[in-house]
Amino acid sequence: MEEKIHSESNSCDTMGGQSGKLSFNTKDESSSNTYTYKVSIKTGDRPKAGTDANVYIVLHSNGQASRETKLDVFFRNDFERGQLDSFNISKLPFASIDHIELWRDNFGISSDWNIDTISVKNTGTGDEAVFPIFRWIRANYRYNFIPLDTSLPQYDERKEQRQKELEEKKALYELAIPAPGIPSRIKAIPADEEFSFDYLWDLNKKKLVLLATSKVKRIATGAWKTIEDVKSIYTKSVFVPPTDTEKWKDDVKFGNQRLAGVNNTVIRLCTEIPEKFGVTPEMVEPFLEGKSLGDALTGRTIFIIDYDLLEDCPCKEGHVVCAPIALFYRRNDGKLVPTAIQLFQKKADDNPVFLPSDPEYTWVLAKMWFNNADAQYHQAVTHLGYTHLIMEGIVVITHRTLSQSHPLFKLLAPHFIYLIAINTRAVNKLSSKGGILDQVFTVETRGILELISRRRPSWRFDRDGLIPEDFKARGIDDPEVLPRFPARDDSILIYDTIKKYVEKYVDLYYETNEVLLADDEIQNWREEITRSVDNYGLGMQGVPGGDSGKFTTKEQLVTVLTGFISIFSVGHAMANFAQYEEYSHPLNYPSLLRGTPPKDKSTRAESDVVATLPDKESHFSIMITGKILSERGTKPLGDFEVNYVFDPEAVKIVNEFRADLANISEIISKKNKTRDPPYPYLDPAEVPNAISI
């Protein structure tokens, strides 16, 4: 990055017709009580951020003002993309400034201009005022900026400018009315949300690169011959074996997938056996370590997953997806194991209850078909629908309703980076007709969208959007009930730390609940989040505020902010970063199976298991997708790509948050030394700030 410095005195160029609007100090410039200011402007590092336009500035101090100064270095290109330019303005009679005016004309081929920051430093005293801009500067409008640029709307004297900026944002960030049941998404991607990420989602190119770098040979075509043959797909680099490849048949491994896999959002405490589930006490009691089923239920050691949502879900032609019900038992050693699986919802002679005592490969097939159903739900609901898509609406609404000067915009914005871009580019490529989801998931894109819409009516922020409340609602928040649950323990640990951070931040700017009530922007934010989809809102249920339609307490606001930041970071990390580990072994967590599920409990052979697997080419696409999705797209939580917060008191709060996260990282790292297997996905050093992959 090149820094350019140019000196300008008060006698430099001014904009015609403007000087009469300003008050100039006419103090003798030869006086020793004059000061020089170094003005440094960092142009944004994004496409078309640089400008050829003429740029002007005025420095203000307690009613006094400098002359209009044209910022220019002759024969040099100022304000290029990503560049830091500095200019000296000398012989000013005041020792500090309270705001600046900045504007540009539309001269030149490239007149658009995006600024990251401006700093104005008194070279004599060393005092420096920082202006975090992070805006596009439109032509022929005189912007007023105050140091730190942080203000609640009721205290901001720049009301006209603030309103104009919000109107511009509303025109850029519009919600489209989505298909029924699908979370609201942006109508058209703004230029600010673009990024050069297409290369990552050109899977044909990625496939060639990965083949070359991993030295994989002859795995992309043909069918598997034996289970042992699956090992041939792994290499020493790139496509390394999952950590517990050899345990894919193990019941403890299968149980652990509910607690430390990619889909920890479905299992719940079982208090009674559903009528539609054909399991009986006699069937499962041999696996309950001497307990009766009744005692195990009252003792809170029985858990259930019911995939009624998958019943009659659309599928690939010639394929079947189950809608299973499964029972799990927490053993005395704390480990969770399956005790019964019914692959479809209705009792029938051809829909038996499979048990661990069934023939080995019969039981293996029942678990594989269950996991195939689990994978469809994971990708549709847990991952795509209720992290990626539902959070896109929050990004859009925030841009529409909160000024960039609002302290809560600055709190939330680091968690928005690349989300709209990844959704627009990558998700569209994944879910387009003939895309990856069509190729490697049993329910294809249409089934994925169907599952998202089926889940939508029951999804509530105050239950599903708050990590501790989700575990509580499923009866699995108590460590005594499930002592070996790393996804729960680590996620709640980080959630509580995020809440502590948000509480301090909110308290800094809202001294009382009355201040919150008077904040029209944050109240509009809540209104658009809860407004019906037909009226271009998100239609989100369960947002605190109730019948009043407003945030009435700071606690309500803290809850919402904590929930959203947690979904952007922790929630997505739980659903995303174990994907290669889970999906890359075709027997472990199959997203696609061939043939039909077993309809009786007769003995199956290894060849029957191998016959259900997708061909090698399809599985290689699964591996590539899992590999890409498991890569980190942004910096770790708290280490923001863009720092919007410059208020010194707020910076202290951010630094305390980072220190708390570092402490949690040490705690989780220590835990992972004794966990079998380790669960690294929620170590704060591994959790990204945003949903950017």
H-run or E-run covering 313: none
Cis ω before 407 (30° cut-off from 0): no
Choose one of 127, 149, 171: the last residue of a domain. 149
The CA–CA distances, whole Å, from 324 to 303, 307, 343, 596, 654 equal 14, 5, 4, 14, 45
Looking at the structure, tell me whether residues 57 and 26 fall in a common domain: yes
Q: Considering just the CA atoms, what is the radius of gyration of the chain in Å? A: 29
Assign residue 67 the CATH number of its domain. Answer: 2.60.60.20
Any domain includes 660? yes
pLDDT band, very low/low/confident/very high, at 435 (cuts 50, 70, 90):
confident
Residue 4: pLDDT over 70: no
Q: What is the pTM of this model?
A: 0.92
Is 314 domain-assigned?
no
- In this predicted structure, the answer to whether residue 38 has a pLDDT above a threshold of 80 is yes
Say yes or no to pLDDT of 40 above 50.
yes
Q: Following DSSP, what letter does each residue of 386-422 receive, concatenated?
A: IIIIHHHHHHHHHHHHS-TTSHHHHHHGGGTTTHHHH
Q: Is 34 inside any structural domain?
A: yes
Number of domains in the chain: 2
Report the distance separating Cα 262 and Cα 385, nearest Å.
14
pLDDT at 70: 96
CA angle 323, 324, 329 (to 5 degrees): 160
What is the pairing mode between strands 3-8 and 84-92?
parallel
Element (H, E) at 6: strand 3-8
Task: Say whether pLDDT at 230 is over 90.
Answer: no
CATH code at position 561: 1.20.245.10
Residues 458 and 564 in one domain: yes
**Residues 131 and 184 both lie in one domain:** no
My answer on whether 130 and 185 are in the same domain is no
Kindly state the average pLDDT of the residues 159-187: 95
pLDDT tens digits, residue range 316-357?
Answer: 999 999 999 999 999 999 999 999 999 999 999 999 999 999
Task: Please indicate, yes or no, if residue 333 is contained in any of the structural domains.
Answer: no
Whether the CB-CB separation of 154 and 385 falls below 8 Å is answered with no
Yes or no: say if 5 and 87 are a contact pair by the CB < 8 Å rule: yes
Q: Which two tokens mark 410? A: 């600055």
Q: Is residue 423 a part of any domain in this protein?
A: yes
Evaluated on CA atoms 270, 273, 277, 282, the torsion sign reads positive
Please check the confidence at residue 18 and state whether its pLDDT lies above 80: no
The reply to whether 363 falls in a domain is no
Sequence-separated (6 or more) residues with CB below 8 Å from residue 551: 516, 517, 522, 523, 526, 544, 545, 557, 560
Contact between 94 and 29 under an 8 Å Cβ cutoff? The reply is: no
pLDDT, the chain, mean? 90
Same domain, 141 and 253: no
Predicted confidence (pLDDT) per residue in 160-171, tens digit: 999 999 999 999
What whole-number distance in Å separates Cα of residue 326 and Cα of residue 371? Answer: 11
Residue after which a domain boundary falls, among 107, 127, 149: 149
Q: Decide if 269 contacts 474 (C-beta within 8 A).
A: yes
- Tens-digit pLDDT profile for residues 532-545: 999 999 999 999 99
- Within-domain flag for 364: no
Tell whether 514 and 436 lie within a shared domain: yes
Range of the domain at 96: 3-149
- Residues 133, 204, single domain; the answer is no
pLDDT tens string 465-513: 999 999 999 999 999 999 999 999 999 999 999 999 999 999 999 999 9
Gap between the Cα atoms of 659 and 500, Å rounded: 12
Both 76 and 178 in one domain: the answer is no
Q: Specify whether 629 is located in the same domain as 486.
A: yes
Query: Which single residue is written with the structure tokens 């038996």?
Result: 352
pLDDT of residue 437: 83
d(C-alpha 79, C-alpha 216), whole Å: 47
Neighbours of 30 (CB within 10 A): 7
* Same-domain status, 470 and 588: yes
Final residue of a domain: which of 149, 183, 210? 149
Whether 428 and 462 map to the same domain: the answer is yes
Alpha-helical segments (H) within 567-605: 572-576, 579-583
* Residue 348, in any domain of the structure: no
Asked whether the beta carbons of 597 and 355 are under 8 A apart, the reply is no
Residue 684 sits at the vertex; the CA angle it makes with 683 and 687, to the nearest 5 degrees, is 90
Same domain, residue pair 133 and 191? no
Instruction: Tell me how long the chain is.
Output: 693
